[in-house]
Structure formats: C-alpha cells, structure tokens
Amino acid sequence: MPLTADRAAGVTLEDVRAAARVLEGVVVRTPLVEVPALTARAGVPVFLKCEQLQPVGAFKIRGAYNAVSRVARAAGTRGVVTQSSGNHGQAVAFAARAFGLRAVVVMPESTPGIKVDGVRRHGGEVVFAGAVRSSEQLQRAEAIAFDQGLAMIPPFDHPDVVAGQGTCGLEIVEQCPGVDTILVPVSGGGLLAGISVAVEGLRPAVRVVAVEPAGAAKLTAALDAGAPRTLERTESMADGLLTRSIGTFTFPIIRRMVREAIQVTEDEIAAAVRFLHRSAGLRVEPSGAVTTAAILAGHARLAGPTVAVVSGGNVDPDLFHRLAG
C-alpha cells in the first residue's frame, strides 16, 4: 500500500482522532495503573499504561486495525500481508479476520512460539523467512504481495499505522491531564511517532522519552546522526524491539518531540519483568518492560507525574518463568 503524495507528508492530530473513531469498540481503553513500589522508587507518581490488556496482548492492534480497515474499504481487496516478529502479525491477523480478509504474516525463523501460535489462532497464515529482523522478511512479504495481489501492512512505517498507535497517546493525555513525562518503548518507531503526534497536538510541553535495549539502540544512532542509521546487528531478549533501523517515515515525526533515547541493559530488563510480576502481578514481555527498567535503574530523570507504556505481554512461558521465578 504505497503512500500517496498527500499522505506522505505526515500524520496529524485529526488523523489520530479519526483512527480513534475507527477503533471504538475494538481496542481496549487500557487503564493507567499506579504501582506504589514504582512510585516510591521514582519519587514521583508513576502510572503504567497497560497495553498488554489489548485483544492481541499488545498495542499493535491499534495501528494494524486502522490500516487494515482502510484496505478493506478498497474495491477488489484479496487480503493483506505483513512482516513481523510477532505482535504486529497477530494484530494484522486479528484485524483481517474481522473484515473477512486473508492474512499472511512473514516471520523470522526464531520467532517465539507463543507469537507464532497467536498469529495462527487469529486466522493468519505464517511464512518463515530468515534470521531475526533481517531484510529477508520484507523481501518475502513484498514478493507475496506482488504474486498474490495482497496489500502490504507495514509494521510501523506508514501513516495509518502511526495514526492508530497515536490513539494510545490520546488516552494517556485524557487519563492523566497533568502528565509531565511519557516513557515509550521504541523499535521501528510507530508507537513513539503516534504518541508524539497526539502529545504535540494536545500537550506540547509534555516530555516524551524513548526507551530501547542497549543491544538495539537504533534510535540513539538516528538521533546522533540526524537521520535513520541501520545497525549491523541487534540483540536482546526484548524480541519486539530488534528492528535494525528507525523508520524513514516515523523518524521525522519523532524528532519533533523526542530529544532523548534511554538505553537499558539485559539485566535491567530482566529485573523489570520480575519486578512487575512480583510487585504488581503483571505478566509483561521484555519489550513491554523496558520503560519500567529505565525507571528502576535510575536512567529516567523524572520531575512530575509519569506514564510508562507497557507495550505488550506476549512472553514465552519458559522465558517468563526464568525471569520472574
């Protein structure tokens, strides 16, 4: 689904509000949950935006459903295809089934079984290609789209996806009008860009801070260079944050609001998964725990009420047992 000239310019607050109307009755208006032990550690009120409570267990349903809804309105639509390490693929499969469309998801061979099973449970067809987050997934998805006449649903680098993810930002501002800082996990930047659009339009003084694994610091590289840079490799237990480059569409949006990207180590991520389980009874995947990790490790400079986005909870059971046990 290529960008038209009018849509390539960016995403507006009205685009996000339009996405919210599309998503009404589909996504969960996830709660803000204060964990007293985390607030005590931070020295300011901290609220978790619990996106693991979405129908597919992650925020990805917001952008995927919004994008698939637009495709579904086009005449002659046969179905959709995407590349994903897990949560986006599950969301695309969920949305496609809702609109009666076929969904093909190209996944890395190393994708955790819980995420592969999730795609299939929602009616998606899984095709494996290449190592984790390599160009092979995109190439295979593009080939399938061309050969089978399917519409591409990118995981992050598209205005409909960004607008959908931005609805998370709308909710945060409505639920916590006095928010000072929002911590957001970042991979390709769809969620971060969407939240940035919403915050820029409604509360431009709010500080938006990205958090990424030290082994996948693609936004740090982009902010340093002033443009997206492709890392030679990425490695982390946070398998949803392993994209090797920030998006070329998302980065110009992000840089308007985001001035810093916090890096967290593997030990800090593991400690955050364990903390969330023991202190709040939450089952969170490593990718969703990075914002909590930044707070627990003292990397986030917080001056007022803070919202930490918990992006998902689809974690391999064995890994979760090792981390939380």
Domain boundary among 101, 118, 152: 152
Report which secondary-structure segment, H or E, holds 262. Answer: strand 258-264
Question: Based on the domain organization, do 218 and 86 belong to the same domain?
Answer: no
Instruction: Report if residue 266 sits inside a domain.
Output: yes
Query: Which 8-state DSSP code applies to residue 35?
Result: -
Question: Based on the domain organization, do 104 and 230 belong to the same domain?
Answer: no
**pTM score, two decimals?**
0.95
Give yes or no: 311 in active site.
yes
pLDDT digits (tens, 9 = 90+) for 25-44: 999 999 999 999 999 999 99
The pairs formed by 171-178 with CB atoms below 8 angstroms and a separation of 24 or more are 171/29, 171/30, 171/49, 172/32, 172/49, 172/198, 172/199, 172/307, 172/309, 173/198, 173/199, 173/202, 173/203, 173/206, 175/31, 175/32, 175/47, 176/32, 176/47, 176/305, 176/307, 178/304, 178/305
102 has pLDDT over 60: yes
Question: Based on the domain organization, do 188 and 266 belong to the same domain?
Answer: yes
The whole-chain average pLDDT of the chain stands at 94
Question: Based on the domain organization, do 119 and 148 belong to the same domain?
Answer: yes
Residue 208 near residue 273, CB atoms below 8 Å: no
Catalytic residue among 60, 84, 196, 236: 60
Instruction: Report if residue 4 sits inside a domain.
Output: no
Give yes or no: 84 in active site.
no
In terms of residue numbers, what domain contains 71? 60-152
181 has pLDDT over 70: yes
* pLDDT given for residue 9 in this prediction: 54
Domain boundary among 112, 135, 152: 152
Question: Based on the domain organization, do 202 and 294 belong to the same domain?
Answer: yes
196 has pLDDT over 60: yes
User: For the chain, how many structural domains are there in total?
Assistant: 2
Catalytic residue among 85, 196, 236, 311: 311
Q: C-alpha angle with apex 22: 3 to 157, nearest 5 degrees?
A: 30
pLDDT digits (tens, 9 = 90+) for 39-76: 999 999 999 999 999 999 999 999 999 999 999 998 78
CATH number of domain containing 131: 3.40.50.1100
Instruction: Report if residue 317 sits inside a domain.
Output: yes
Question: Based on the domain organization, do 47 and 64 belong to the same domain?
Answer: no
Question: Based on the domain organization, do 53 and 191 belong to the same domain?
Answer: yes
pLDDT digits (tens, 9 = 90+) for 111-149: 888 999 999 999 999 999 987 666 889 999 999 999 999
Domain boundary among 152, 174, 193: 152
Nearest CA to 60 out of 249, 244, 188 is that of 188
126 phi, psi to nearest 5 deg = -105, 130
